[in-house]
């Protein structure tokens, strides 16, 4: 009667001297090699997915007059209907936004109010999403023109 031992992937049969038959050991090595290839492939796929999720386009806009400013406890949104630049492909770009948690929020907010009160044209540098429901281009810089 043969002496079978239950291995991790099936039966490993020992010959009369107790040596593993060579086919079974090479099968285990191939299984380990294949599982390492699958792990590496999965790692690369996940890495590329996370890289593409984080990426944002950024860019400058044309200039226009601020028609109104909407201030909420969670954001400030500025309506500039003449600006049509859309580096992140938002559905609507007539409103641009910033949040109190953004760097230099107070400075940007004050600059926007000054431009609105003086009826001066503005231009923005945009990067990412902000505003109501995170659906509007995020202002990171403001230019005011005479």
Domain ranges of the chain: 3-54, 58-144
At residue 144, does pLDDT exceed 90?
yes
User: Using one digit for the tens of pLDDT, what is the confidence trace for 6-61?
Assistant: 444 444 545 555 555 555 555 555 666 666 666 666 555 655 555 444 445 678 88
Instruction: Specify the long-range contacts of residues 81-90, CB closer than 8 Å, at least 24 apart.
Output: 83/123, 83/124, 85/59, 85/60, 85/61, 85/126, 86/137, 87/57, 87/58, 87/59, 87/126, 87/127, 87/137, 88/56, 88/57, 88/126, 88/128, 88/129, 88/137, 89/57, 90/129, 90/135, 90/136, 90/137
The radius of gyration of the chain from alpha carbons, rounded to an integer in Å, stands at 31
**Which CATH code is given to the segment(s) 58-144?**
2.40.50.340
Q: Which residues contact 48 (CB under 8 A, 6 or more apart)?
A: none
Q: What is the pTM of this model?
A: 0.60
């Amino acid at each position: 009667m043969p002496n079978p031992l239950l291995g991790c992937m099936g039966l490993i049969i020992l010959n009369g001297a107790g040596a593993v038959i060579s086919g079974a050991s090479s099968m285990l090595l191939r299984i380990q090699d294949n599982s390492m290839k699958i792990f590496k492939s999965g790692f690369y796929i996940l890495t590329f997915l996370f890289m593409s999720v984080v990426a944002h386009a950024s860019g400058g806009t044309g200039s226009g007059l601020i028609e109104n400013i909407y201030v909420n406890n969670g954001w400030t949104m500025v309506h500039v209907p003449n600006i049509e630049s859309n580096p992140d492909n938002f559905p609507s770009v007539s409103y641009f936004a910033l949040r109190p948690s953004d760097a230099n929020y107070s400075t940007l907010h004050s600059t926007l109010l000054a431009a609105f009160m003086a009826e001066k044209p503005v231009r923005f540098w945009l990067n990412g999403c902000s505003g109501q429901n995170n659906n509007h281009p995020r202002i990171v810089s403001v230019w005011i023109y005479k």
